[in-house]
Amino acid sequence: MAKVVNRLHPDFATQSYVIEVFKGVALTTRQFARNLFARKDIVTVQYPDDRRPYTPRFRGKHRLMLRDDKSVRCVACMLCATACPANCITILAREVDDPTIEKAPSAFDIDLLKCIYCGFCEEACPCDAIRLDSGVHTIPSYTRRDQKAGVINLMSLGSVSIASQGGEHRAHSHEGTAHGRSSGH
Amino acid sequence: MHLVDNVLLNIVLMTLVKFAGFVLAFVMGTATVLTWAERKYSALLQNRIGPNRANIGSIRAGGLLHMLADPIKMLTKEDFVPNTPNPILFRLAPLMAFVPALVVFAVIPFGPGETFQISNTSLGILFIFAISSLNVYGAVIGAWASNNKWSLIGGLRISAQMISYEVAIGLSLCGIFMIYGSLDLQDIATRQGELLWGFIPAWGIVYQPVAFVLYLTCAIAENKRAPFDVGEAEAELTAGWWTEYSAMGFAVFALSEFIEIVLIGCVGTTLFLGGWTIPGLHGDAWWIVVLEIGGFLFKSLFLVWLQMTLRWTLPRFRYDQIMRLGWRIMLPIALLNLVVTGIVLTFIERA
Ligand code: SF4
Ligand code: SF4
């Protein structure tokens, strides 16, 4: 059904804008006076001191999840790098002694300046190895190089996943998250 | 010879003292405070808190320290020059905006007599127009030299806007000259000290209320502040004509904008709000003079406040609306005002 748009037909006095300007000035001045003496209208969240709670679906900095023996879950399958629309994931694969694990990343770099935090990598990953649920904002830095998150950096936020995966150390354990909250999906 | 030297030295010294007292202390002081006040005031208007983080130890002084922190930040930031064929013009542009804004204060009478005016010229108001219209060069050349499309569009908009409103502002003030029969600001201010029918102050705003509204509107448009800031238009043009400016270049542009706010206040006070005169108060006693200077500063600050409030109350006009307002509304009203003033003056002279 077509939406009916109610057009305003301001009269000449309103359109001439002269009285309206005074009304506007009166309004802003009143608000100024109120806020000068009382704080109850003020909506500012003083960010580093007070934070709004993030929604559970907040996509923050990536983290690489771990196996039970704290090695990285990633098998360097490149699915995330392929899915990434920003082309910001660089993975170098290496061999692993464990015959049940095909590969592991020897380098896993994410250029956080290019990343658009779309979460496609997380969705593409067959191993629950990469997630964006760390709840961490990308931390500002003085150089561009510092915005490249390497494998160590990404694993430092990681925790053990309960999703099952091949390999010798296959086991189930309780899932923990970087911020101690449930990353329930 | 010796005598001449002394006279010259005296004049130079007096001028320096006046300059320090009026321009450096009042004008620059107000402009500096405005850099803080604009952010804090707008915040309180909009139910925000505003800047309050700059601190020395635990002293925050309601964000007042931002006035100190800003220059330090501006001086230590990267002074970026874009890849432009005109780096010299790019550097020069902030000065071209800053100097005219400051020079104009030379002719503003801030107290009774020649003592309280840096330079007494019978051309007062023409000087103001001549110099302050140079302002547009700073902005336009800066925009051009930035070698950036946003700046260019912004520069194009403000050049058209500033030149259009130049016409209306000039015509809106003509009525004042006709009534007081002088271009000398000191003359005009003194004449406004008289009383009309013994109780109404003979201020310009009483004779020319329409001209006052026109003047204020056009002056804000000249200063390219909201609601006339299409040249900056951060929603469309990043930061418009000063997109590429950073560090001190940006600071100088911003400061000249604030200085111009004070200028609009001072000129408006001198022409419309009775200048330094206080109705019913005459004399040469020192306390009267102090009161009169205080009155001038107070009235100027009132107009500064009004500009601030308008800036944070009204939404930005569209570009075509600005041009239409300038040429099709402001200009005819100014002309009409002029004609009516002329007719009424003729009748009064005849009577
Ligand atoms: S969030 Fe999106 S852009 Fe960022 S790394 Fe993952 S797939 Fe690439
Ligand atoms: S993070 Fe997941 S998708 Fe990316 S390479 Fe490792 S296992 Fe494959």
Q: What is the pLDDT of residues B271-313, one digit of tens each?
A: 888 878 777 777 777 788 888 888 888 888 899 998 888 888 8
φ and ψ of B157, to 5 deg:
-65, -50
How confident is the model over B2-26, as a mean pLDDT?
78
Q: Which residue has the higher pLDDT, B179 or B111?
A: B179
Name the amino acid, one letter, at B206: V
The confidence score (pLDDT) of residue A180 equals 41
- Output the CA angle B292-B296-B300, nearest 5 degrees: 165
* Among the listed residues B333, B332, B128, the one whose alpha carbon sits nearest the alpha carbon of residue B222: B128
With a CB cutoff of 8 Å and minimum separation 6, the contacts of A146 are none
Instruction: Indicate the DSSP class of residue B277.
Output: -
A107: β partners: A92
Question: In the predicted model, is pLDDT for residue B255 greater than 80?
Answer: yes
- Is the ipTM, as predicted for this complex, more than 0.90? no
Which of A72, A78, A80, A102 best tests ligand 2's pocket when mutated (most atoms within 8 Å of CB)?
Answer: A80
Element (DSSP H or E) covering residue B130: helix B124-132
Inter-chain CB pairs, A–B, below 8 Å: 37
Buried b (16+ CB within 10 A) or exposed e, A61-88: bbbbbbbeeeebbbbbbebbbebbeeeb
Nearest CA among A112, A113, A131, A111 for reference residue A121: A131
Contact across the interface for B310 and A43, Cβ inside 8 Å: no
Minimal-distance CA residue to ligand 2 atom 7: A74
Q: Cα–Cα distance between B289 and B114 in angstroms, integer?
A: 13
Instruction: Give the residue-averaged pLDDT of B249-275.
Output: 87
pLDDT of residue B3: 63
Min mean pLDDT across A102-116, A133-147, A153-167, B30-44 is at: A153-167
> Which single residue is written with the structure tokens 């009269």?
A11
Q: Has residue B349 got a pLDDT over 60?
A: yes
Q: Is the pLDDT of residue A173 over 60?
A: no
Sign of CA dihedral B4, B9, B12, B14: negative
Most confident of the following: A78-82, A152-156, B15-19, B211-215: A78-82
Please give the distance, rounded to the nearest whole angstrom, from the Cα atom of residue A118 to the centre of ligand 1: 5
pLDDT recorded at residue B2: 63
User: CB-hemisphere CA count at 13 Å for A34?
Assistant: 13
Closest CB to B41: pick one of A27, A32, A43.
A32
Whether residues B45 and A31 touch (CB distance < 8 A) is answered with: yes
A154/chain B closest Cα distance in angstroms: 32
Give the pLDDT of residue A181.
41
Query: A18-25, long-range: CB within 8 Å, 24+ apart, which pairs?
Result: A18/B213, A21/B310, A21/B313, A21/B314, A24/B313, A24/B314, A25/B306, A25/B309, A25/B310, A25/B313
What angle is formed at CA B119 by the lines to CA B116 and CA B122, rounded to 5 degrees? 105
Pocket test for ligand 1, best of A61, A88, A123 (most atoms within 8 A of CB): A88
Which CATH code is given to the segment(s) A63-166? 3.30.70.3270
Crossing angle of helices B149-180 and B247-272, rounded to 10°: 20
Please state the domain extents for chain B. 79-350
Q: Which pLDDT score, from 0 to 100, does residue A185 have?
A: 38
User: What tokens does B8 get?
Assistant: 């010259």
User: What is the pLDDT of chain A when averaged over all its residues?
Assistant: 80
HSE, CB side, 13 Å, CA atoms: give it for residue B242. Answer: 22
Q: What is the pLDDT of residue B1?
A: 53
CA distance B83 to B141: 15
Q: Do B49 and A46 touch (CB under 8 A)?
A: yes
Residues written for chain A: 185
pLDDT, tens digit, for every residue of B64-96? 888 888 888 888 888 888 887 888 888 888 888
Q: What is the pLDDT of residues B177-223, one digit of tens each?
A: 888 888 888 888 888 877 777 677 778 788 888 888 888 888 888 88
* Cβ atoms B147, B85 nearer than 8 A: yes
CB contact under 8 A, A32 and B47: no
Q: Does position B16 have pLDDT exceeding 70, yes or no?
A: yes
d(CA A70, CA A173): 12
Q: Measuring from atom 2 of ligand 1, which residue has the nearest CA?
A: A118
In angstroms, the CA B155 to CA B138 distance is: 10
- The mean predicted confidence, pLDDT, of chain B is 83
Q: Which helix (H) or strand (E) holds B71?
A: helix B66-76
| Cα separation, A141 vs A153, whole angstroms | 14
B313 Cα to chain A: minimum distance (Å): 6
Q: Do A35 and B312 touch (CB under 8 A)?
A: no
A98-127 pLDDT, tens digit each: 888 888 888 888 888 888 999 999 999 988
Give backbone dihedrals phi and psi of B103, rounded to 5 degrees, phi first.
-65, -35
Identify whether B51 is preceded by a cis peptide bond (ω within 30 of 0). no
For chain A, the structural domain boundaries read 15-44, 63-166
